[in-house]
Amino acid sequence: MLSFEPRQGGPLTQIATPLLAVLATVLAGAVLFAFVGAAPLATLETIFVAPLTNPFQRSELLVKAAPLALIAIGLSFGFRAGVWNIGAEGQFILGALAGGAVGLAFWQVDGWWLLPLMSLAGMLAGFLWAMIPALLKVKTGANEILVSLMLVYVATNLLSALVAGPLRDPDGFNFPESRLFHDSATLPILVEGTRIHSGIPVVLLIGIGAWVLLSAHVFGFNVRLTGAAPRAARFAGVRPGAMVIVCLGLSGALAGLAGTFEAAGPAGQLTRDGIANNYGFTAIIVAFLGRLHPLGILLGALALAVTEIGGEGAQVVHGLPAAATDVFQGLLLFFLLAFDTGTRYRIRVATRRTA
Amino acid sequence: MSPAGARALRGQMIVIGAALVVLALFADVNGIRPVLLYASVIAAAQPLVFAAIGEMVVERAGVLNLGVEGMMIVGAITGFATAVGTGSALLGVVAGALGGAALSLIFGVLTQIFLANQVATGLALTLFGLGFAALIGQSYTGQTPPPFPRVDLFLLSDAPVIGRLLFAHDLLVYVGIALVTVVWGWISFTRHGLILRAVGEDHDAAHALGYPVIAIRMAAIAFGGACAGIGGAYLSLVRVPLWSEGMTAGIGWIALAIVVFGAWAPWRVMLGAYLFGGVTILQLNMQAEGITVLWLLTFAFFLLAVQASVDAIIHGRGRIGLVVFLWASTLAAGSIAVFAPITISSEYLSMAPYLATIIVLVVMASDTAQARLRAPGALGRVFRPRD
């Protein structure tokens, strides 16, 4: 029989846990691939090593990691405070739609102000979409997990409807996709020959800002307090309803911004498959891998970007389905959660005592 | 059940009854045979019946497993693969149950033994299940499963309306009803059912009384996984019947909402599942027939109006102004639908089941006093034995 005694994990365990989890995921993944009949070592090489050695894939790491990090940073505040926003995917889609729609509204209009305007629209749309579960939670007590998740399906259908309807390219032979954004509505490329765009340094700045917010600002303190001791937080004057609204609003706005960046950056237009690519769900894993800490999340996003890009490579080289990446990511979250027990509790093999 | 609970139950039965009558009338007017519609509603609801009743047992034991979607899709593919491999659809259902249960045990080990957060673990289970199912299902796309045996009760099934209504479904529909009956009887009237509820209400007290909390919860989790697996297998073997990636499309999440809607009571959970089956089929038929979406709006207003009226009459609460407003809105939406039917693209109609889920969650949650009484006391809380 195992017994668990609570303890405070030191900084070493905080760093070791995610690394151990990644290692275990790689091993379990190898077993899994052998099980489904793919060559384990070659597949692992494609998924984990190729994205780091191939120069183009290496640049793509940043392109994929940026939206993941941005969404995960927003989510991490809520997850710390026990506010479960599972619908970041929907807020991401709404951000892409709103930002993209503004870009299309000013089609062929040049100006430095267009990208900031699009970003604002995207953040506002993500914020408002997140306000639906937030206000329903606060006003009626409806479960924010299920409401925010249901809104993902609504958002996906909305995206399909809009790119086949009002936002469709008038010269596009009726394909369900928007026009390509013009130059003023596209994030400038920073490194020639790659897709590294100017949204990436913005994400980095937001990550540092979130770190300061979490560790030095009273809001960050309240978030951490709510997560660690909800009753104490209430006595300290933290209103639970306000916490729900702020956390969901913040994560919604950041997910919306990520959506706008995705539309105005790598996607370059609004299409169903280009926008609804499950970043909102992957970011949940990123948040946990980064231990809900902004700087950890920046690193965690890079790690998950490796599996995303490697997974795409494995589709081409080994004919694995796209979902193999999801298996990896799910496994990673399992191992993280399991190993996390080791940081929160001292585990002993207990000899049964009599009462 | 308390008198207040019984009154609330009666109120909801009236709302649901009104919904069913109106749906049947609506279908008949639009040339859809109500009996056929009924059969397709049952088929659409059946995966939800299984998944929701399983999750209900899990939640009555005090565990919140958000991985229903993942367990369903794994049940769908293990069931499908086994049925194609062995040529037996029934074996497929058994395999679906085993697949779902096996996956749920990952959740069980992580949350019950490693004390992991149930919300995060449930999410991980869904993400993993969706990926895992797609991985093993890769070679099964485009294949057709063996036909599912129909229950043929000789003359009964051929009887005009009654035969179609009661005696002409597939085997699993009857299994589902039997399962709900057994769960209801077991939870309400047996000693073991009482222990399960005790564990779900207060795990520390149950532990102090000497009940093996973790073992009971593991068993409940495995049962929930098996039920979700059967629900998934029903989807891939009977309802569709084909395998495609991500074919559950959020049904598992809706099952979670139905448990809330059913207020953790077996028969109401089943009714909720049928109601959602109704919304799904209605939405599909409206897409197919090009019927204006305004009817859906009318229907929503109608249900709210009935609810408000019932509240006002039975409970003596509720405002007359609200009742009048809702009935007027019903009438207004209905008359616009008749005189100026606008059609919109099918994507908007596809939102209907998800929006209906949100409405249900909100309506159930706003009944705070009752909701709090009914939700198992220890739901979602981590249990750490201290001896």
DSSP string, B328-386: HHHHHHHHHHHHS-----HHHHHTHHHHHHHHHHHHHHHSHHHHHHHS-TTTT------
The whole-angstrom separation of Cα B49 and Cα B266 is 10
A256 against A341, higher pLDDT:
A256
Q: Tokens 């992991």 identify what position? A: B116
Residues of chain B numbered 121-150 and touching chain A (CB < 8 Å): 121, 123-125, 127-136, 138
Residue in chain B nearest A152 by alpha carbon: B354
Question: Does the pLDDT at position B2 exceed 80?
Answer: no
A180 DSSP 8-state letter:
P
Contacts 24+ apart (CB under 8 A), B28-34: B30/B285, B30/B289, B30/B291, B32/B285, B32/B289
Chain B residues with CB-CB distance to A161 below 8 A: 345, 347-348
For residue B165, is pLDDT > 70?
no
> Residue B106's pLDDT is what?
94
Task: Give the pLDDT score at B370.
Answer: 56
Q: Which chain A residues contact residue B113 at CB under 8 A?
A: 2
pLDDT band at A305 (very low <50, low <70, confident <90, very high): very high
CA distance A108 to B387: 72
B125: closest CA of chain A, how far (Å): 7
pLDDT at B197 over 70: yes
Nearest CA among B176, B160, B170 for reference residue B35: B160
Q: Give phi and psi for B216, each to the nearest 5.
A: -65, -40
SS3 assignment, position B54:
helix
Dump strand ranges (E) for chain B: none
- Residue A111 DSSP symbol: -
To the nearest whole Å, the CA of A266 is away from the closest chain B CA by: 25
pLDDT band at A176 (very low <50, low <70, confident <90, very high): confident
DSSP state of A7: -
A99 vs A179: CA distance, rounded Å: 14
How confident is the model at residue B1, as a pLDDT?
46
* Min Cα–Cα distance to chain A from B170, Å: 30
More confident residue, B35 or B387: B35
Cβ contact B354–A153 (<8 Å): yes
ipTM over 0.90: no
> Chain A within 8 Å of B105 (Cβ-Cβ)?
no
- In the predicted model, is pLDDT for residue A175 greater than 50? yes
Region A231-257: what's the mean pLDDT? Answer: 90
Most confident region among A273-287, B176-190, B236-250 by mean pLDDT:
B176-190
The whole-angstrom distance between B351's CA and the closest CA on chain A is 5
Q: Are residues A277 and A191 in contact, defined by beta-carbon separation less than 8 angstroms?
A: no
Beta bridge partners of A347: A4
- Answer whether residue A191 shows pLDDT above 50: yes
Residues of A in contact with B347 (CB under 8 A): 157-158, 160-161, 164
Q: Look over chain A and give the mean of its residue pLDDT values, rounded to a whole number.
A: 87
- What pLDDT shows up at residue B50? 95
Q: Is the pLDDT of residue B244 over 70?
A: yes
Q: Angle between the B118-137 and B89-108 helix axes, to the nearest 10 degrees?
A: 140
Averaged pLDDT, A46-74: 89
Asked whether the beta carbons of residue B361 and residue A136 sit closer than 8 angstroms, the reply is yes
Taking residue B254's Cβ as centre, other Cβ atoms within 10 Å add up to: 31
d(CA A336, CA A18): 6
B362 touches chain A (CB under 8 A): yes
Mean pLDDT of B373-379: 76
CA-closest candidate to residue A279, choices B74, B127, B72, B251: B127
Contact call for residues A322 and B134 (beta carbons, < 8 A):
yes
- Bridge-partner residues for A346, per DSSP? A5
| Nearest by CB: A154 against B135, B257, B351 | B351
